[in-house]
Amino acid sequence: MSSNKLAQIALLLWVITIGVFAWFFVRGNTTAGNDGRTAIVLQPGERDLVLKEMRGLLAATQQILEGVNQGDMQRISKAARAAGMAGAADVNPVLMAKLPIEFKQLGMSVHQEMDDIANAAETGKSSSDILQMASNSLNKCVACHSSWQINATGQ
């Protein structure tokens, strides 16, 4: 086989590999859920990781509301920052590839908004502004939960 032909085959394989990877990156590892939602299929440990992050978001939301109620801007900024982008950045690439792109975008925008809330609390925005921001973010929690569920393989 000529080296030209080999190069062509190598190029084709490379394109296919990138294509398959891109397909997974966009689509994630999903199947029909049991209640009309789309299920993302993860290893049990990966599911635990995502759910732990979720409980962190719920705890942050509670602290933000309590901070607003007490006029405690420091509490708000601390809680919101902990749920911001910095905490989400270390998610491993294998797990990221299994999450559909829509899910990733929605999830990342919630983390980004947590940072926005922290910034608002640090720069003297009013409690009602912060409540409005938190309420907007909660819409995304609701929207995502109504579309997706997470199944663990082997369950």
Residues that bind ligand HEC (CB under 6 A): 51, 54-55, 57-58, 61, 103, 106-107, 110, 137, 140-141, 144-145, 148-150
Cα(62)–Cα(98) distance, integer angstroms? 29
Report whether 76 contacts 67 (CB < 8 A): yes
Task: Name which of 30 and 127 has its Cβ closer to ligand HEC.
Answer: 30
Task: Name which of 7 and 51 has its Cβ closer to ligand HEC.
Answer: 51
Q: Please, what is the minimum distance in Å from the beta carbon of residue 72 to ligand HEC?
A: 19
Report whether 63 contacts 76 (CB < 8 A): yes
Q: Please, what is the minimum distance in Å from the beta carbon of residue 122 to ligand HEC?
A: 19
115 phi/psi in degrees, rounded to 5: -65, -40
Q: Please, what is the minimum distance in Å from the beta carbon of residue 109 to ligand HEC?
A: 8
User: HSE (CB half, 13 Å, CA atoms) of 5?
Assistant: 2
